[in-house]
Structure 1
Amino acid sequence: MTDKLEQLVETAQAMVAPGKGILAIDESTGTIQKRLSAVGVESTEDNRRDYRSMMLSTPGLGEHISGAILFDETIRQKASDGTSMVELMNKAGILPGIKVDRGAKALAGFEGEKVTEGLDGLRERLAEYAELGAKFAKWRAVITIGDDIPSRACLDANAHALARYAALCQEAGIVPIVEPEVLMDGSHDLDTSYDVTEATLKALFAQLYEQNVLLEGTILKASMVISGSEASDRAGPEEVAEATIDCLLNAVPAATAGIVFLSGGQGDVEATRHLDTMNKMGDLPWPLSFSYGRALQAECLKTWAADPKGNREQAQQILAHRAKMNGLAALGEWSEDEEG
């Protein structure tokens, strides 16, 4: 194995080190505007910088957070004291990551379905991000469950784009996170979620194989097999954990460096409980950890927004607590009592 490939494997393993997971703070300008507006904060460049640097400078964050996914604006920013965000992360032992996709757009000819764009010029962008200090990247595909969807065309188009992105990342010495998110939106049951998730993952790994992507240097960001958010009878934690593990064992090769879950609209404690239940189920071929956005940030954001200067430390303590809870869940050592 060449030095570059060895480095990819080493980085991927560090991303899913025992008891550690990934903080997703890569919201696009439009998404972060919605989040900040919802808590009464204007979405200026300075406010976005202050919010994200507050999180990244949380004391002890590196104990449970291995890396953070950044948006293009953030990886180029400096905190108010002049320290670059990347330097802030390196000091804390947190790997800098970067979102590189250009968003999910309507898939022509397939109503209600999407394909993620961003491959044009990606090789050059990845070279620049590597120079800026990025060690890993993320690309998200969006799979919607509905009447007669997803179509095979949608699954294949997204799997192909994810695999081409992953190959370009590895060429640049950057670990790819491949994220084929099966949305929770809808009234579908657990079995439907299972079938769609399995088909999505099988399509993805077939394309990763075709594109010569090194699985030992790749992280899968997966959605849990979970009932639709509007389902009348939603499956409980044990059912979700069993269905998710079963699906992953059927579709994800053991060579994959690790699996991190997205929270996908789950509540803070709900996402932690599901992860912990899975890790309590015994030995698995890959580490199972977390790459949460809202499920790590929600309470922290609300507290910070109420008084950005005065509540800074309190907001950091809330983030550190959620990171610790999920770190315990990644080891299968969490319990409700730990929530305090």
Structure 2
Amino acid sequence: MNKKQVEIMGTGPGFIAALDQSGGSTPKTLAGYGIPKEQYGSEDEMFELVHAMRSRVITSPAFTSEHILGAILFEQTMDRTIEGMPTVDYLWEKKGILSFLKVDKGLADEEEGVRLMKPITDLDDKLDRAVKNRVFGTKMRSVINKANPEGIRKIVDQQFEYGKRILAAGLIPILEPEIDIHSEDKAECELLMKAAVLKHLDALPEGERVMLKLTLPDQAGLFSDLVAHPHVLRVVALSGGYSREEAVRLLALNPGLIASFSRALLEGLTVQQSDEAFHRMLGGSIQEIYQASTT
């Protein structure tokens, strides 16, 4: 990480591509791409196929720093190569795009209306490897289902506890206390989460900045004060199960937020498409998401 990279991420126009589907979500991602489970027999084969899909996206002429600031990578993606180069180096040197490493180990069972992250027992090792691979930052996700003040406090506490360790390693953490879009009290969850986040942000030492990845809010502009906070480098929004059309519509109502879409970015792409059709579909999606991110 250097000043140029921080400036790109903090002020550059564009959005973040989330390409960090883990082992649990990869079969669904591949199925959407036109590769059902019956076409691979082992986890190794599955990861080879999803890396081929991600490589096709990353090497596409539509996937450039003109519209994309960063990409969130699964650990195995960081460890692999694209066109003979380590993935992180390819993204930065060939495309001018920064890399984030997904560091969480999935979700614990729901308690107090939330799903905390499982303990990240190998975080120090992951951070060492990320630094050696010239990664810019990290991402970790937990989920809020109900407006339980104690549960939400624990979610945000856990995100910032790990976030401080990530900052100490010289990386920028993306903290992601996702709120389930189907929550019956989503708006109340948003207010409780925001208050807990602001409390932690206000307590950070001078000069330290984190990024936030948040569910698109019910109330337009709700996160404007988070966007403007001196300890926040950027606030990005997840698509969270909304269609790309709906996610883009909601994002455009929230100036200052930029996208960090996964499924909504890959929507409509299939392995059967010709390269021309694939690049055209991806380019259209990227343009749509970029426009909403720069509104």
TM-score normalised per structure 2? 0.87
Structure 2 residue ranges without an equivalent (≥5): 41-45
Counterpart residue number, 1:27: 21
Instruction: Give secondary structure in 2 for the equivalent of 1:221.
Output: strand
CA RMSD of aligned residues (A): 2.3
Instruction: Give secondary structure in 2 for the equivalent of 1:30.
Output: coil
Q: CA contact under 8 A between 2:115 and 2:144: conserved in structure 1? A: yes
Q: Do structure 1's residue 220 and structure 2's residue 212 form an aligned pair?
A: yes
Residues 94 and 140 (structure 1), Cα distance of their counterparts in 2 relative to 1, 3 Å cut: same
Q: Do structure 1's residue 202 and structure 2's residue 195 form an aligned pair?
A: yes
Counterpart residue number, 1:161: 158
Q: CA contact under 8 A between 1:194 and 1:244: conserved in structure 2? A: no
Instruction: Give secondary structure in 2 for the equivalent of 1:179.
Output: strand
Paired residues for 1:190-339 under 5 Å:
192-210=185-203, 212=205, 214=207, 217-226=209-218, 243-245=219-221, 247-249=222-224, 254-255=229-230, 256-279=232-255, 287-300=256-269, 304-305=270-271, 307=272, 311-332=274-295
TM-score normalised per structure 1? 0.76
**Deviation digits for residues 13-46 of structure 1 (CA, Å, limit 9, x no counterpart):** 4225443000001011120112213533446232
Counterpart residue number, 1:338: none
Residues 290 and 211 (structure 1), Cα distance of their counterparts in 2 relative to 1, 3 Å cut: same
**Deviation digits for residues 249-284 of structure 1 (CA, Å, limit 9, x no counterpart):** 4666621222111011111122112222333xxxxx
> CA shift at 1:163, angstroms?
0.4
Give the aligned residue type for 1:46. Answer: E
Residues 10 and 161 (structure 1), Cα distance of their counterparts in 2 relative to 1, 3 Å cut: farther
Q: CA contact under 8 A between 1:106 and 1:112: conserved in structure 2? A: no
Residues 16 and 290 (structure 1), Cα distance of their counterparts in 2 relative to 1, 3 Å cut: farther
Give me the whole-angstrom Cα distance separating, in 1, the residues matched to 2:115 and 2:191: 18
In the alignment of these two chains, the number of paired residues is 284
Residues 152 and 50 (structure 1), Cα distance of their counterparts in 2 relative to 1, 3 Å cut: same
Q: CA contact under 8 A between 2:113 and 2:151: conserved in structure 1? A: no
Identity %: 24
Paired residues for 1:93-108 under 5 Å:
93-107=96-110
Larger Rg computed on CA atoms = 1
Give the aligned residue type for 2:223. Answer: L
Counterpart residue number, 1:88: 90
